[in-house]
Amino acid sequence: MRTHTWTEPNRWALIAALALVIPAPSVAQQNFSLEARGGVAVPASDLSDLLDVGPTFGLGFAYNLSSRIALRIDGDVDVLSGVEADGAGPAAPDMNIFHYNAGLAASLVDPLRSSWNIDINLGGGASTFDSDSFQVGGTARDFSQTYFTANGGLRVGYDVSSNVNVFLGGQAYLMFTDEAETAVFAQLRSDIDPNGFDTAWTFPLTAGVALRF
C-alpha cells in the first residue's frame, strides 16, 4: 500500500488554499461597540415655546445580534436654555433633559460589501426633565419629572478601519408627558395651553465616533 507523504510545498499549497476559503475578520465580526457623540438638540411642539436650541451629548453601547442587526443601549442629555422673557410672559427656566433608551438598530447596507453605513434604529425608555428654579405666583418651583419615551433615528457612517467608525446622525425623542404636571408652564408662557401638554419632542443632531471590539 502506498502512503502519501506531505512535502513542504504541499503544506504551503494547503495553507494558501485555506486562506482563499476562510474569510478574514471583518467589521461584521466585531461583536461590541462603544460610541461618544455630540451636537445640537432642537426642541419641538410645546417645548419650542419654552426652550431654545442647545447642545446635546450622548454615549451608546451596541451588541451585534447578526451582521446587520444590533441591540443598542443609549444615554443622552439635552442642555437647553429657557426662552427669554417677552410680551408672552416671563422667561422660562433652563432645563436638562436626560434620555435613557434601549432598542434595535438595522443596517441598510451590507457591512461586508461597503465601508459606508446607513443605519436606522427604534427603541423606548424614559426621559427625565430637570429644570432650574423658577417663580410661579411668588413661589419658587422647579420641574423634575420622568416620562416614558419612544425614539427613532437615522445615521450615516464610514469605517475608518475595522475598529473605528465615524458618523453623522439624527434622532427623534417622543416623550409622553402629563398634562396636569406640565400645566405649570402655562403660568410662565401664555402660548402654552392652560391644560398643559401630553407629548413633547426633541431632535438631537449629532456627530460621533464608535469603537468596535
Q: Render 87-156 in DSSP notation, one character per residue.
A: TTBSPPPPEEEEEEEEEEEEESS-TTT-SEEEEEEEEEEEEEEEEPPEEETTEEE--EEEEEEEEEEEEE
Using an 8 Å Cβ cutoff, are 97 and 127 in contact?
yes
pLDDT at 149 (0 to 100): 98
Mind listing the domains of the chain with CATH numbers? 31-212 (2.40.160.20)
pLDDT tens, the chain, 213 aa long: 454 555 555 655 554 454 444 444 444 457 999 999 999 999 999 999 999 999 999 999 999 999 899 999 999 999 999 998 766 567 899 999 999 999 999 999 998 889 999 999 999 999 999 999 998 878 899 999 999 999 999 999 999 999 999 999 999 999 999 999 999 999 888 889 999 999 999 999 999 999 999
For residue 185, give the amino acid letter: F
pLDDT at 49 (0 to 100): 92
Q: Which of 47, 38, 45, 57 is nearest to 95 (CA)?
A: 47
- What residues are paired with 33 via a beta bridge? 62, 212
pLDDT at 138 (0 to 100): 80
pLDDT at 196 (0 to 100): 95
pTM: 0.83
